[in-house]
Amino acid sequence: MEYSDPSTQPEILLVDDTPEHIETAVSVLCDHNFKVRIATKGITALKLIDQHLPDLILLDVYMPEMDGFEVCKTIKRNPDYIHIPIIFLTSSNDEESIKKGFAYGAQDYVIKPFNSSELLARVNTHIKLKQQTKSLLQANRELDSFCYSVSHDLKAPLLSISRLIDYLVLDYSPRLDNDGHELLDNIQKKSNELIMIIDHLLEFSRMSEMELRIEKVDLEHCFRTICSELIKLEPQRKIQCIIKSLPIICADPIMMKLLVSNILSNALKYTRNKAAASIEITSAETPEEYIVSIKDNGEGFDMRYSDKLFKVFQRLHAQNEFEGSGVGLAICQKILQRHHGRAWLTGKIDQGACFSFSFPKQ
C-alpha cells in the first residue's frame, strides 16, 4: 500500500532505543511514504503523543527507565489514545512476554531484527483496520443521528394522537358501548407503547452524543438507592434484593444511574411470575477491570439466542407476556461501550438469568 499524497500519509511513532533498529525501521517506512517520528524513551513517547496523535505506534518492549509494557498500559488508560494501534517490537519470542503485551492492549508484535516485508505488512494491516474502524464509527454516528431525528419527528404527532384519545375518553366515553370502550382502551394502550418506544430510541441515540462527565460513582450506593425505589413501586410483590460489596468507579453518574435502572427493571420484570423474586448483585475484579453481576430467579432464556439480546427491538419473549420497548439492553451496552466496558448475559429457561458487565480500572 502506497501513500503518495502527503496529506494522507499515515504517521508512525517509533519508540526504540537501539540505533540500528531505528535506522532499519525508518528506512523501510519512509521508502513507502510513511511519516515517522522517533522517541528513544518511553516518557518522551508519551509527551509526543500528547502533542500529536500518531496513526500507529511501533513500541520496543525493553527500554531503560520505562519499558514498553508500562508505556502501552499508560496509553491504553487514556480514552483519547485507546484507539491507536500498538505493535510491540521484541527481540524475544518468549510466549509470556507476547501474552503480557496483548493483555496490556497491544494489537500485534514483530520480532527483531526486522524482516522488512513482515514489518511493512503488519503496519499496513493495522493502518487499514484503523481506517475501516474510523469509517464504521462515523457511519454509526450518522445512523444514530438519523435515528434521533426520525424519533424526534415521530414523537410530536404521536403526542397529538394521545391527547386526542384522552379527549375522546373524557367527552365521548358515555356514548360508547362495551366494544367501543375496549377499542378505545386498546388504541390508548398502543399509543402509549409507541411513545415509550420513541422515548427509549431517543435515549439510545443520545448515548452516542452525550459528553461524558467522569467522576467517582459509588456503585453499591447506586444499586441500593435504585433498587429501593423500584421495589416501592410494586408493594404487593415479595422481592428479595441482596447487594454485596460493590466498587467505586470513575464514570458518568447520569449514565450509571440509567444503566443500573435498566438492569434492575429488567430483573424485576422477568421475575414477576415468581412467588418470590430473588435478585443478587455481586462483584469481582481482575488486575485490569471490575466485574459486576446481577443474578435473578426469573424466566431465563435460551442461550442459543443470547446474541439477539443487545440488539434494538430484539426480544425473546412475546410483548403480551412481558411489556417493554426492546431497547433497554441496547442502551446498557452502549453506555458500557462509551466507558470501554463490556456486557454479557447468561441464563437457562425457567432458571433465571445473570447480567454481567465489566468496567476498566482507572
Q: Residue 214's closest CA among 337, 333, 332, 338? A: 338
Task: Check whether 158 has a pLDDT greater than 70.
Answer: yes
Q: What is the mean pLDDT of residues 339-345?
A: 91
Task: Check whether 94 has a pLDDT greater than 80.
Answer: no
Eight-class DSSP state of 206: H
CA atoms of 9 and 35, how far apart (whole Å): 6
**Would you state the pLDDT for residue 354?**
95
Per-position DSSP letters for 252-265, written without gaps between them: -HHHHHHHHHHHHH
Which of 27-41, 130-144, 262-276, 347-361 is predicted least confidently?
Answer: 130-144
**Using alpha carbons only, what angle is made at residue 317 by residues 200 and 155, rounded to the nearest 5 degrees?**
20
Backbone φ and ψ for 144, nearest 5 degrees, come out as: -60, -40
Give the cell for residue 294: 446481577
List the beta bridge partners of residue 57: 13, 86
How many Cα atoms within 13 Å fall on the side-chain side of residue 3?
19
**Would you state the pLDDT for residue 346?**
92
Backbone φ and ψ for 283, nearest 5 degrees, come out as: -140, 160
Chain centroid, CA 288 distance in Å: 16
Cβ proximity of 59 and 86 under 8 Å: yes
Give the cell for residue 323: 411489556
Cβ proximity of 262 and 329 under 8 Å: yes
pLDDT category, 50, cuts 50, 70, 90? very high
pLDDT category, 205, cuts 50, 70, 90? low
With the C-alpha atoms ordered 328, 333, 339, 345, is the resulting torsion angle positive or negative? positive
Q: Name, of 179-183, 204-208, 253-257, the range with top average pLDDT.
A: 253-257
Q: Which CATH architecture has domain 6-114?
A: 3-Layer(aba) Sandwich (3.40)
**Would you state the pLDDT for residue 314?**
63
List the beta bridge partners of residue 36: 12
Domain ranges of the chain: 6-114, 135-209, 213-362
Q: Which CATH architecture has domain 213-362?
A: 2-Layer Sandwich (3.30)
**Would you state the pLDDT for residue 321?**
57
Q: What is the mean pLDDT of residues 224-229?
A: 93
Residue 85 burial (CB count, 10 A): 21
**pLDDT tens-place string over residues 3-39:** 555 567 899 999 998 898 899 899 989 988 899 999 9
**pLDDT tens-place string over residues 302-337:** 888 777 777 766 665 555 555 555 677 888 888 898
**Relative orientation angle of helices 178-209 and 116-172, to the nearest 10 degrees:** 150
pLDDT category, 145, cuts 50, 70, 90? low
CA atoms of 106 and 76, how far apart (whole Å): 9
| Helix residue ranges per DSSP H, the chain | 19-31, 42-51, 68-77, 95-103, 116-172, 178-209, 219-232, 253-269, 328-338
**Would you state the pLDDT for residue 278?**
95
Cβ proximity of 54 and 84 under 8 Å: yes
pLDDT category, 243, cuts 50, 70, 90? very high
Three-state secondary-structure class, residue 237: coil
CA atoms of 222 and 234, how far apart (whole Å): 19
